[in-house]
Amino acid sequence: MNRRDFIIKSLLALGGAPLLAACREEKRPAEKAKDTKADQKGEGKMKILMINGSAHEKGCTYTALSEIAAVLKAEGVDSEIIQLGGEPYRDCIGCGVCRKIGKCVFDDDIVNKLVEKAKTADGFIFGTPVYYAHPSGRILSVLDRAFYSGAAAFAGKPGAAIASARRAGTIASIDVLNKYFTINDMPVISSTYWNEVHGNTPEEVREDKEGLQTMRNLGKNMAWAVKLLAEGKKLGLGLPTPESGARTNFIR
C-alpha cells in the first residue's frame, strides 16, 4: 500500500465518499510543478520547536532533545532547540493584560518571542530536568506565560514532553508538562516507553540505551504525526471546532 492510499483509507471513515473522491483527484501538471519547486527551495518544510528547560546549555536534557532532533532530520522535518539558560524568568501574575494587548506584558525576556516562533511551528517538544520531582521552575514560568498569553499559537498542534533525571521524578515531571497540551486542544505524542532518560551527565545519558531508543521512537512518532496532519489538511480535513462558553463555578 503506497502512502497516498494509506492516507485515503485512514481518513475515509471520517470524511466519507466525498472526501475519498477528493483524495483520489489527481493534481494538475501546474500544481505538481509548483510543489516540486517548493520542495527544491525547502519551502513548506515542517518544523518542530523544542524547549530545553535546563540551565545547562548542553547537559542531559539537551542530549535527549538532540537525539530526537537527529531523527526528525532523517525524517525530513526541521527542528530548533530553544535554550532557556540560567537567567531568571518572571512567573505569570494573572494580571490579564495579555488579553488586551495580545502578548505578555513582560516583554523583556524570551516568552513573547517564543509565542511568535510557535505560530509557525508544526509541533512541540518540551524537555526538562527533574528538580525535587517536578520540572524546572524556569520552564514552568515560561510555559505558564506563553500559554496564557498565546495559547492559540500552540492549539491543534501535536506536543510531547520529556524529562531527564539521575534517578527518579521523571513521571511526575512529564505529567505536569503534558497538562499544557491536554488543556489546549493539542494531540499528545507518545513513544514506546515513558519519555525519559537517566544519567547525571551527558556521558551517562548516552549509556542509557533504552532511554535514547525511546527518544528516537518519539522523534519518529512526532514526524509521522505532523506529516499526517499536513496531508489531512491538504485533503480538506481541518481541525475540529470546539464548543466554548460554558464555565461552571463550584462555589456559589
Helices 3-24, 209-234: crossing angle, 10 deg rounding: 20
**Is residue 213 situated within a structural domain?**
yes
Q: Is 177's pLDDT higher than 80?
A: yes
Question: Is 30 part of a structural domain of the chain?
Answer: no
Percent of the chain scoring above 90 in pLDDT: 77
9 in a domain, yes or no? no
Buried b (16+ CB within 10 A) or exposed e, 15-43: beeebeeebeeeeeeeeeeeeeeeeeeee
Stretch 122-139: mean pLDDT, rounded? 97
Residue type, 206: R
pLDDT at 7 over 50: yes
C-alpha cell at 167: 534517578
Look at residue 9 in the predicted model and tell me its pLDDT.
Answer: 56
172 confidence band (pLDDT: 50, 70, 90): very high
Model pTM score? 0.83
Cα-Cα-Cα-Cα dihedral sign, residues 111, 169, 64, 39: negative
The pLDDT value recorded for residue 28 is 47
Whether 79 maps to a domain, the answer reads yes
**Residue at 182: amino acid letter:** T
10-36: pLDDT as tens digits = 544 444 544 444 444 444 445 445 554
233 backbone dihedrals φ, ψ, rounded to 5°? -65, -40
Total structural domains within the chain: 1
CATH, residue 220: 3.40.50.360
Residue 11 lies in a domain: no
Question: How many residues does the structure list for the chain?
Answer: 252
- Quote the domain boundaries for residue 121: 44-234
Give the C-alpha separation, 210 to 115, whole Å: 33
Tell me the per-residue pLDDT of 79-121, one tens digit each, with 9 for 90 and over: 999 999 999 999 999 999 999 999 999 999 999 999 999 999 9
pLDDT at 10: 54
**Residue 74: band (very low, low, confident or very high) from pLDDT cuts 50, 70, 90:** very high
The predicted structure's pLDDT at residue 170: 98
Query: φ and ψ at 29, to 5 degrees?
Result: -55, -40
DSSP 27-50: PPHHHHHHHHHHHHHTTT--EEEE
For residue 59, what are the CA distances in angstroms to 55, 67, 129?
9, 13, 9
For the segment 39-68, what is each residue's pLDDT rounded down to a tens digit?
444 456 899 999 999 999 999 999 999 999
What pLDDT is stored for residue 57 in this prediction? 92
**Side chain identity, residue 28:** R
Within a domain: 252: no
Asked if residue 245 belongs to a domain, the reply is: no
